[in-house]
Amino acid sequence: MDSKNPVENSLNIESAFNNSSSRRSVSSFESRNSVREVNFGDPGAKPVRYGSRTGDSEGYSMSQKEIKEEDARLVYIDDPGKTNERFEFARNFVRTAKYSVLTFLPRNLFEQFHRVAYIYFLVIAVLNQLPQLAVFGRTASVLPLAFVLLVTAIKDGYEDYRRHRSDRIENDRLASVLVNNQFQQKRWKDIQVGEIIKIQANETIPCDMVLLSTSDPTGVAYVQTTNLDGESNLKSRYAKQETLFKLPEMEKVSGVIRCEKPNRNIYGFQANLEIDGKKLSLGPSNVVLRGCDLKNTGWAIGVAVYAGRETKAMLNNSGAPSKRSRLETRMNVEIIILSVFLISLCTVVSVLAAVWLRRHRDELDYLPFYRRKDFSEEEVENYNYYGWGLEIVFTFLMSVIVFQIMIPISLYISMELVRVGQAYFMIRDSQMYDEASNSRFQCRALNINEDLGQIKYVFSDKTGTLTENKMEFQCASIGGVDYSNFAISEDELGGYSVEVDGNILRPKMKVNVDPELLQLSKSGKNTNKGKQVHDFFLALASCNTIVPLVTDTSDPTVKLIDYQGESPDEQALVYAAATYGFMLIERTSGHIVIDIQGLRQRFNVLGLHEFDSDRKRMSVILGCPDKTVKVFVKGADTTMFNVIDKSLNVSIIRATEGDLHAYSSKGLRTLVVGMRELSPAEFEQWHSSFEAASTALMGRAALLRKVAGNVENNLSILGASGIEDKLQKGVPEAIESLRTAGIKVWVLTGDKQETAISIGYSSKLLTSKMTQIIINSNSKDSCRRILQDAIIMATRLVTASGFTDNAEGTSGAAPTPVALIIDGTSLVYILDSELEEQLFELASKCSVVLCCRVAPLQKAGIVALVKSRTSDMTLAIGDGANDVSMIQMADVGVGISGQEGRQAVMASDFAMGQFRFLVPLLFVHGHWNYQRMGYMIIYNFYRNAVFVLVLFWYVLFTCFTLTTAINEWSSVLYSIIYSALPTIVVGILDKDLSRRTLLKDPQLYGAGQRQECYNSKLFWLTMMDTLWQSIVIFFVPLFAYWESTIDASSIGDLWTIAVVILVNLHLAMDVIDWTWITHSAIWGSIFATWICVIVIDAVPSLVGYWAIFEIAKTWLFWLCLLGIIVAALLPRFVVKFIYQYYSPSDVQIAREIEKFGNPRGLGAVQLEMNPILDHPRR
């Protein structure tokens, strides 16, 4: 995540998030650190207002907007009866389970029958129950569908049972609730809105509560929100001073809270509290949410405002979005083709039956095997004969029943089982385990595993995704002087420390220091430079929302101060201030204590304006010990220079701008710091406006922004800071491998352009050989002109160099690849307009695209831009809340379990600890999953079609009566026992190439991008092979036994065994990585088929009693089996040999190298991989 928005945990000062447009000015600096650079920009551009893609996530929209009076919820403190009198608010009972005992069966069946194939098989089973259409036994016809439904229902039922058990444990937890002026234990599910609750240290908050009082005399309470958003840092929440000393056990607490309706925004809360005739404002810093843990606080008392399903935790409990696999979507096309083929077969049978009936209409009464007349009674009657027309209709419907397995019902459950197995091995992969965060790979969406093998575009966040998001203070520019000679001398290794109550306090984290700056920080405010340094570090220590916590060490006299905060940037700045002698040691709701060079000073916090995405800065108003009031402001340079008084210290401003440019070019994150002293009149004006804005229920956010804007102006610049966010381990190598594989990597960041470019070089995203096209614009017309010029230039460069992006990754010798660098301001005018087409045309000619200063929804807009114009697969990877929209927009979303909580992880399809794990995820597991799943789908079509065609040939030789030689139970068991297990095992375990080969040669990933394992050509070739094999299976025994007296059941057993042996040998020919499990599944299935046929034929009540025992006695039976296998598989073997020898794919060549070393005596010659071609645009 790139833009850090600290959560509102301010000191009695509330600031609401907003969803308005953002203002941004274009930087006057352009990077010059590339060999060739083409800069399209508008210097001196005016600030512009963002368009539709600049707001925060729509999921947070309720809290972002202002509350209307009719939308307010009234909560009467300690009066749940009156609170729930007008509207029955939700109780604290939660339910995450989907089913109840009564609803399980109907609802589960309803959900399962969303699959059209299931409806198809249900219709088939119903038709078979009709006497006129009964081909199979009624039980046998229902068994396949019932089996699939039962397995899925058991799985869903077990999952829901676990949810019920978890819900019961959660609802039965106990909390202390005020009843009759004393706190009593009450189950969570019985808590009501309006009740007063007491939470002890380390207990979990049972519902969303407004704090009334805490054990701390200043009203502060510390909570850990790990269960809510995954962030482990403590957050401070505050009780209002007016309620702080009210103890509900001793005195009646009465009042009314007017708050917004329940919504999903865990970072926003707007309300008013009316108590003792006063109207107080309530904000996010005054509310604690369900699921948080109370830490470092003895107790806290609050009133429930949201309970049960209306709590923010439950409203956010929606899980990952549902996505469909591209392979499964494509599979539906082939299923439609097979359905048409099935209808064609049924039509042929019914038409031929009609011709046969018409030709033999005079013989039907006495014709053997059809005799229409029933002579068993004295009165001769017709059997169930409905006339020529209806007989044709019935024949068609009976054909559908007989040939039903042309649509493979077992394929769906096989795919689910295979995906579960694949997910297991991905999760257990030790090479994707992150020791630093102790996190394993997570597979949160089982239905898109194979999509990982077809990715063409990767959209990545920068901060926390490519970088560690562990900030280190590196340099500072104070008063126009650059202090970047940072080193730790021997005498400074111990760091700064202070003595408090006989204990030594030291910062937990050590920071490198600049000797000159360290000396100046100790010199006091006597000199001009000393005063500037003093004010600069005072600003860093005070202008933040950091919570200082004291932790013990092995030495009882030494304590460490651990600065807890939600922004790593703020932590780095406060640690830096402490290292230079400005140590923040205490924070309460109304003041902070800073030890300045051994002297403890208390500063009253008169107001705090939180950072927001519009202002891009934050400010604090301090009452200083010398009775002055000062406002300290820090923020992004693009907004800070707009509020700095440029008539003061012009030389310092210019020098600071130069230092900022230098820091950004090194890849450092920069902040500008300023301040000014407020006169009594200015302070009074601000204070009255701030109070009015804070207590406003309507328009509060806008009013607070206006108040902040009025006080954050005419600032005197203090300096700027440079913070390093180091690249994660393995990022440069990972990006290089991705690009070699033909994957286009786009980086979307909120950082400055210079910072992003510098990180681009260090991560090997940008190279010195690239020509950079930089687009910075401030109007739509300008964007149109610039894009047209850029397209012409990119086309000329690509044509002149012979470089085409289609060959990306196939050769590293492209002399002038092009990199596009564009800022968020330009994207405002491009996205959602006719200029999108030009941007995509330009981007498609570039090897690299780097988007700077982009808002969260702009990231999603860029992903949508690519998805709507190409059929290529997209993957988005990020670590923070501002990456959620991008992750959900992409075909595959990957969340990084980083420093910024779990918002991205919770919205993702897959989650992991490091960016570099993307390489084994795509190149190894993605390649394997795609190859396995593609083959499994094709194979399932083949094994079912060959069985159906054997039945079809038999119908043609039995007067189209739809009788079957194959036992009905064998027909049912064919897709369940005879041939289902081997394909599942191969789909989970088979590996066409080793991990080492796939990682060594990234170009092999192109097999998935080219759809080599599943395409129309492969489908039709397989169907042709299927046709040939079915002809061999049917006609070899037919001709062999033509003049014999063998019955239909005996030859049916021969066909059954021949089909099962053939399809398993067909599978065995394609298995690459044999294991004992694979051997057991394939040969075990053949053995199981023999056993089942023997058992079925040994049941006297079934048709074909003892048939297998009679036919297996003869040598002709075994000769037919051998002949079928040889004749059916020989063409496939020959074609496979010719294709692999004369026109091998990259994978086949790599497999040969892997097995035999250098292929075919080529020595050290390097084989050129096939080009990875772009898919046609939509």
The residues facing 594 across adjacent strands are 584, 601
Burial 50-73 (b: 16+ CB within 10 A, else e): bbebbbbbebbebbbbbbeeeebb
Are 480 and 651 within 8 A, CB to CB? Answer: yes
Alpha-carbon gap, residue 708 to 689, rounded angstroms: 10
The residues facing 209 across adjacent strands are 288, 304
Alpha-carbon gap, residue 487 to 464, rounded angstroms: 26
Host H or E run for residue 328: helix 326-359
Report helix, strand or coil for 444: coil
Rounded to a whole number, what is the distance in angstroms from the first to the last CA of the chain?
31
Rounded to the nearest angstrom, the gap between the alpha carbon of residue 400 and the centroid of all alpha carbons in its chain is 42
Q: How many CA atoms lie within 13 A of 465 on its CB side?
A: 29
User: Does 172 participate in catalysis according to the annotation?
Assistant: no
Please name the residue ranges forming H helices in 832-883: 836-844, 856-867
Alpha-carbon gap, residue 4 to 750, rounded angstroms: 10
Burial 130-147 (b: 16+ CB within 10 A, else e): eeebebbeeebbbbbbeb
What are the Cα distances from residue 574, in Å, to 7, 332, 491, 507?
17, 58, 22, 10
- Single out the residue of 984, 982, 983, 998 nearest to residue 928, CA to CA: 998
Q: What is the DSSP string of 714-773?
A: SBEEEEEEEEEEEEPTTHHHHHHHHHHTTPEEEEE-SS-HHHHHHHHHHTTSS-TTPEEE
Are 392 and 356 within 8 A, CB to CB? Answer: no
- Single out the residue of 112, 120, 109 nearest to residue 406, CA to CA: 120
- Single out the residue of 121, 110, 114, 116 nearest to residue 148, CA to CA: 121
**Positive or negative CA dihedral for 849, 855, 861, 863?**
positive
Report helix, strand or coil for 1063: helix
Contacts of 245 (CB under 8 A, 6+ apart): 213
Catalytic: which of 293, 461, 891, 1025? 461
What are the Cα distances from residue 549, in Å, to 296, 585, 859?
9, 8, 37
Are 578 and 560 within 8 A, CB to CB? Answer: no
Please write down the HEC assignment for all residues of 525-537: CCCHHHHHHHHHH
Q: How many CA atoms lie within 13 A of 632 on its CB side?
A: 24
Written as six digits, the tokens of 498 are: 């202070």
The residues facing 392 across adjacent strands are none
Residue 311, amino acid: T
Q: For residue 9, which phi and psi values (nearest 5 degrees)?
A: -125, 45
Alpha-carbon gap, residue 927 to 916, rounded angstroms: 17
Written as six digits, the tokens of 900 are: 């910024």
Alpha-carbon gap, residue 205 to 282, rounded angstroms: 19
- DSSP code at position 978: I
Alpha-carbon gap, residue 258 to 76, rounded angstroms: 9
Alpha-carbon gap, residue 1031 to 1129, rounded angstroms: 12
Are 926 and 426 within 8 A, CB to CB? Answer: no
What are the catalytic residues? 461
